[in-house]
Structure 1
Amino acid sequence: MKIFVKVLIAVLLYLAFLVALLPARVVVALAPLPNGVALAGVSGTLWQGSADTLVADGRQIEQLQWQLSPWQLLTATVKMDLTFGSRASAVSGKGQLRYSPSGVKLENVKFDAPVSFLVGRKQLPFQTKASGDISLFVQQFDQGEPWCEQLTGKAFLNNIGITNRFGQYPLGDIELAMQCVNGQIQLATDDEKNKLGIAGTLLLQDGMKYQLNGRMKVTADQPADLQKALPMLGKADANGFYPLTFNGRF
């Protein structure tokens, strides 16, 4: 009986070390990755590893590193700390991800990328080309229906420029507050958070639908093409604001 117990303990210890030292490249090789997703240069273990590149839907990030907490798995929760990119990279970020039967949670997320990275290969309306950079700071995000249960964060659009068949629009910098409203993701700004005279909200709804409700007035910092185009939005109110209302689908 004593020999059996010793053998059992030895086997359990062996399995524990085997799992603890499980190479990440073996997991990636065996795991069925989604279509359009590829990892290259994988090293380290399942619990603490890295990859040189991650490609998803034609978008690429570099210097991906992760730390996975094995103890959280005992509570049916995946807890992972992620970092990718660097100060010299076009795309960089970090944050903590939790996944459990209740859904996805994000904490202390920071993400920086050029607009072209987010647009990807998608064709924008009116032959539009967008430039500039986007910075996201998410203190907390809890998944819900259709999108969220809780969201606290900010988005900064830096040196944004739009060019299409109607003209050139150097929009500059715009600050947006992010929150969850009835399960929908809302981005909000006012004319004190940008030089374009824009105030309003953008709601991301179920089925990738969006609803923009806002207003816009003429300011000295607006490009000439934009000032000329404002009357196309409708009649200005008593305070000089033109209606800014759109509905569509991403």
Structure 2
Amino acid sequence: MSLIKKIMIGVVIYSAFLLALFPAKVALSLAPLPANISLSGVSGSIWSGAVETLNIESRQLEQLRWELSPWGLLIGKVNLEFQIGSRATPVSAKGALSGSSAGLSVRGLRFDAPDSFLIGNAKLPFRTQIQGEVSLLVDTFTQGQPWCEALSGKLFLNQTNVNNQFGNYPLGNIELGLSCEAGKVQLATDESKNALGIVGTLQLAEANMLQVAAKIKETPEQPEDMRNSLGILGPRGADGYYPVVYQGRIPGL
């Protein structure tokens, strides 16, 4: 073997080791992160790394860890497994992401957070304040137009309490099924998944538009303020339900 070939092989091997061990701290310091994002405690490599804390404006995530497959990059695909926090932290998540020119896909995602983390500093209408916790389980998600091509999962609203200028509404626990309908993200619930007498769907369409098609009837489990306010929704139907219909932008956005 000639000297030139040996040098070339040596350069290739050296480059491979350099890339495999490239520090995550250096990579993130070179990345054009937005001004409202700050990181601390970065360790590991770009392929297997960790971040102690990540701050996004008023929100904080702890104990971020990731595994990035280098083999997918060879075919133009990003395969990433990640974990955020633990059961002991306010916010936790884990799952697997895949990205390519065709879009983003997700599998095995679990996300748990208090409502205050999701709402942040957003001002909700009617001076509304929401307390509780959210658990999101996504078995599979495939990006499409305007939002999805496929979606399967569940959303749990746990110990939810809504307080606004009309009264106090302890809503308890609500389970919603997740699906993709004509490219729209759909959430659906019925009386077997909540104690509030709510049946219907909510769809997220393009441009952050919400479409709600549901109905609600009086139940013994409803807060008194809620039962007394059902009449503002419109006339009660022959089936005993009041209509819940809305079409417009997501409140607070």
Normalising TM by the smaller chain, what interval? over 0.9
Q: Distance in 2 between matches of 1:99 and 1:147?
A: 15
Partner of 1:99: 99
TM-score where L is the length of structure 1: 0.98
Q: Deviations over 1:19-73 (max 9, x none)?
A: 0000000000111113422222110000000001112243211000000000000
Partner of 2:192: 192
Matches within 5 A, 1:112-191: 112-191=112-191
Contact 1:169–1:223 at 8 Å: present in 2 too?
A: yes
Q: Distance in 2 between matches of 1:131 and 1:39?
A: 28
Matches within 5 A, 1:1-250: 2-250=2-250
Q: Which runs of 5+ in 2 are unaligned?
A: none
Contact 1:36–1:58 at 8 Å: present in 2 too?
A: no
Q: Deviations over 1:142-170 (max 9, x none)?
A: 11111011100000110000000100000
TM-score where L is the length of structure 2: 0.97
Letter in 1 for 2:214: G
1:212–1:171 Cα change, 3 Å: same
Q: Which runs of 5+ in 1 are unaligned?
A: none
Identity %: 48
Q: Distance in 1 between matches of 2:34 and 2:51?
A: 17
Letter in 1 for 2:165: R
How many residues in Structure 1 have an aligned counterpart in Structure 2? 250
> 89-98 vs 36-45, which deviates more?
36-45
